[in-house]
Amino acid sequence: MVVMLTHDFVGYLLNKFINRFNLSTKGRRFTNLLKYSSISDKINKVKSGELSLKDNISELLSRIKANKHLNAFNFVFEVDSLKEAERIEVKIKSGTYRKLAGAVIAIKDVLSIKDKPTTCSSKILKDFKALYTATAVQKLIDEDAIIIGKTNCDEFAMGSSNENSAFGNVLNPVDNSRVPGGSSGGSAAAVAADLCDAALGTDTGGSIRQPAAFCGVYGFKPSYGRVSRYGLTAFASSFDCIGTFTKNIEDAALILEVISGKDNLDSTSYDSPVPEYSKNLSTKKKFRIGLPKEYLGEGLSEEIRNAIDSLAKELSSKSFEIIHISLPHTEYSIATYYILTTAEASSNLARYDGARYGYRSENSGTLIDMYKSSRSEGFGTEVKRRIMLGTYVLSAGYYDAYYLKAQKVRRLIKNDFDKAFEKVDLILTPTTPTTAFKIGEKSDDPLEMYLSDIYTTSANLAGIPGISFPYSKDSNGLPIGLQFLAKQFDELSLLQMSYYL
């Protein structure tokens, strides 16, 4: 206890020091108050006896308790993780350990883990326990990672503020009066508050990158197909991607190379060898960097615009070529995204009918009544809104006007990127138009909320990878995240550029 208090106190002083001298305003943000700087460093410290894995888990569990008000976790696996710590500590000491030995990872509650609850933060899946484990999670476990719990999120990953959760909203650890972003708000908050070493999230239209930006951590969304979606509860199947929240690039690279790769259980997973990202982070390559004018227009906060300008200047002074580009169909991305994802969601969510999974209403007479009342009582407002919108755009009279049209525009948006990547290696943009907003500020205005994804949805429409990295802070001390995008399956360039920064 004394050790923990002292440790927290040291962390507190360190943060004060960092804030006072503005040390964290560029590059790496010092979020890690634990005694190691990365997962590999942690393994070395356990190996040398400097760190006990069991103590480390106990410390994280106490930190989770002390930060209960953040509401970052839906479930914490206290007993299991302590047991795993003992087992893996022995493996590390005897030299038979694997890549992620002892890395403590939190999992967004839309990913299945056998015999554990998988609720998607929805009442309709209350009490549901998964029958199998998602491939991405299984790969972490196979590499000796420790799963500490399941994180809160917007219901079925629909939202940008984590205010649409049956478990209540999550607070931003940097400023508790603000949202952590969404939909993977719990994962972002858990990493930012040092409640775990890293977390998995999912990104259908920005749900990793936007909360990472709001909480001041690294959020990595791989290319569509890079990571198997088997065991991920589908929201919009042609958009959904599993990715990482980390405190540094080394950890992002390490976890990504573990979870990536072809999986026979997901026919959309990409069949090609996975590069060893973590061993290839250093490069002398001077990437050509595109600045798209459509991402720097009206609606972008001045402070974020200044951050982009300052990074572009800095890079150009280091002989990176900065090229002004245009992605002309950007203005249609939000509309296209919300037509296509709601269409896919309305179909994917048809399976929750009270008969097969989770919640069944007590108030049901006939079978149809049972469907109706289970869905009416089980789903929250935002999910219902999307099911209705999606059903509408797929209906016979409107299919051509909306759904088919949106599919064509999706292709145009992808073509914009293909063209741009003939001239540039990476595209630099803001991650979000503003820093973290106040809780309740946008919850009554869905359109306003949807606009907070304006810089992230295009990557999912095109299937390309993106990273949000913490760059600086605004005048309120809130993190500013910036985004790099790369062409499909060029995750390595994103990691190398961010590592260089």
Q: Which residues contribute to the site for ligand GLN (CB under 6 A)?
A: 157-160, 182-183, 202-207, 235, 341, 453
Contact 370, 354 (CB under 8 A): yes
Give the angle 468-266-133 at the CA atoms, nearest 5°: 80
Non-local CB neighbours of 88 within 8 Å, separated by 6+ positions: 53, 97, 101, 102, 144, 146
**Which one, 145 or 340, has the nearer CB to ligand GLN?**
340
Nearer to ligand GLN, 201 or 216 (CB): 201
Which residue out of 38, 161, 207, 228 is catalytically annotated? 207
- 42, 108, 150, 221: the catalytic one is 108
Q: How far is the CB of 49 from ligand GLN (least distance, A)?
A: 42
DSSP letter string over 143-163?
Answer: TT-EEEEEE--SGGG--SSS-
Would you say 38 or 204 has its CB closer to ligand GLN?
Answer: 204
d(CA 370, CA 356): 12
Residue 115 corresponds to which tokens in the numbers above?
């015999």
- DSSP 8-state symbol, 70: G
**123 included as an active-site residue:** no
Smallest distance from ligand GLN to CB 240, Å? 7
3-state secondary structure string across 4-29: HHHHHHHHHHHHHHHHHCCHHHCCCC
Output the smallest distance, CB 83 to ligand GLN, in A: 32
Closest CB 452 distance from ligand GLN, rounded Å: 7
CB of 436 to ligand GLN, least distance (A): 14
Q: How does DSSP classify residue 273?
A: P
Smallest separation (angstroms) from ligand GLN to the CB of 386 = 8
Active site residue 458: no
- Indicate which residue of 81, 160, 183, 333 is catalytic: 183
Residue 173's contacts (CB-CB under 8 Å, 6 or more residues apart) are: 67, 70, 180, 189, 192, 193, 215
> Which residue, judged by CB position, is nearest to ligand GLN in the bound state?
207
Q: Which alpha helices (H) appear in 327-456, and where do they start and end?
A: 333-348, 367-378, 381-394, 405-423, 446-450
Q: How many residues in total does the chain contain?
A: 501
Please say which residue, 134 or 157, places its beta carbon nearer to ligand GLN: 157
Rounded least distance, CB 213 to ligand GLN, Å: 13
What is the spatial distance between Cα 132 and Cα 485, in angstroms, rounded to a whole number? 33
Whichever of 51 and 340 has its CB closer to ligand GLN, that residue is: 340
**Is the dihedral angle over the CA atoms 251, 168, 452, 224 positive or is it negative?**
positive
At residue 220, φ and ψ (nearest 5 deg) are -115, 120
Minimum distance from residue 254 beta carbon to ligand GLN (Å):
23
**Angle between the 249-259 and 39-47 helix axes, to the nearest 10 degrees?**
90
Given a contact cutoff of 8 angstroms between Cβ atoms, the answer to whether 336 and 406 are in contact is: yes
- 108 is an active site residue: yes
Output 235 or 437, the one with its CB closest to ligand GLN.
235
CA 65 to chain centre: 23
Q: How many CA atoms lie within 13 A of 256 on its CB side?
A: 37
Catalytic residue positions?
A: 108, 183, 207
